[in-house]
Amino acid sequence: MIRHDQEISLLLGRERLMKKLQDKVALVTGSGRGIGQAIAVKLATEGARVVVNDLDDQPAQETVDAIRAVGSEATACVGDVTATDFGDRMVRTALENWGGIDIIVNNAGYPWDNVIQKMSDEQWQVMLDVHATAPFRILRAAADPIRAAAKAEKEAGQVICRKVVNISSIAGVFGNAGQLGYSAGKAAVVGMTRALAKEWGRYHVNVNAVAFGYIKTRMTQEIEGEKTLTRIGENDIRLGIQPEFIDFMNRMIPLGRGGTVEEAAGAVYLFCLPESDYISGQVVLASGGLVI
């Protein structure tokens, strides 16, 4: 027979093995690379099943494989988040595979920078489409299933909190010269976050945003020689930062360095935990202490 103290030890062992996000279903856009990939894998290590998204098949599959390697489940929803049908398609992928939605991370985005006198209508609109309209469509598509689930849980006497984490930037909070369109799109994320927190509070959905500062990714890599052109959708986007500006940023950041993608993912993860069930409508800077 198992003694009482052995029984307690077994129970404690099981509790330690329980993962914080066990069997939660998470949607993470832009998760084939960089910060998005780190977010998806971080959630998966705590038990979440993840719908992965990227423009291309290969990076999406790499993230799916990484998630399966840590013992969780994943499936890919490949495509452009700005497509008019994408929100419905991503939500449908989650429902068809796992029957529900618990976490939505609107991460997909990129900078297409210029000063105002050189910015085209297309450049301006693309920044609004990817950073504001795409998350709006995903959240709108998720509204009915989330509301239905909340109603069923209420009737069963349950309270289950769901999480929305929208990704903004310090450019969206404070503005940044040369990034008018990007700053506007990321500022829209902040307004959307605070409005939706008020709309969805009745359904026990926590809606928050993380505004990143300088995080070291391929989009913020040091430029060597000519600026790097990267094809995103139909556009050639110049990525990278001049070395002298990186040095300046590192001097300005109180922690003295740019963040890693894993640290960026950690900030998002905090808003996905059950410990954050009474936090909503907030914007947290993950910027190493930089306030500009």
Of residues 31 and 219, more confidently modeled: 31
164-198: pLDDT as tens digits: 999 999 999 999 999 999 999 999 999 999 999 99
Of 30-39, 105-114, 230-239, least confident by mean pLDDT is 230-239
Q: What is the pLDDT of residue 127?
A: 97
% of residues, the chain, pLDDT over 90: 82
pLDDT band, residue 239 (cuts 50/70/90): confident
Answer positive or negative: Cα dihedral of 154, 52, 30, 78.
negative
Whether 182 is a known active-site residue: answer yes
pTM of this structure? 0.91
Of residues 75 and 242, more confidently modeled: 75
DSSP 8-state assignment for residue 134? H
Q: Which two tokens stand for residue 222?
A: 């040091």
What string of DSSP letters covers 34-68? HHHHHHHHHHHHTT-EEEE--SSHHHHHHHHHHHH
Q: What is the pLDDT of residue 8?
A: 52
Q: What is the pLDDT of residue 224?
A: 63
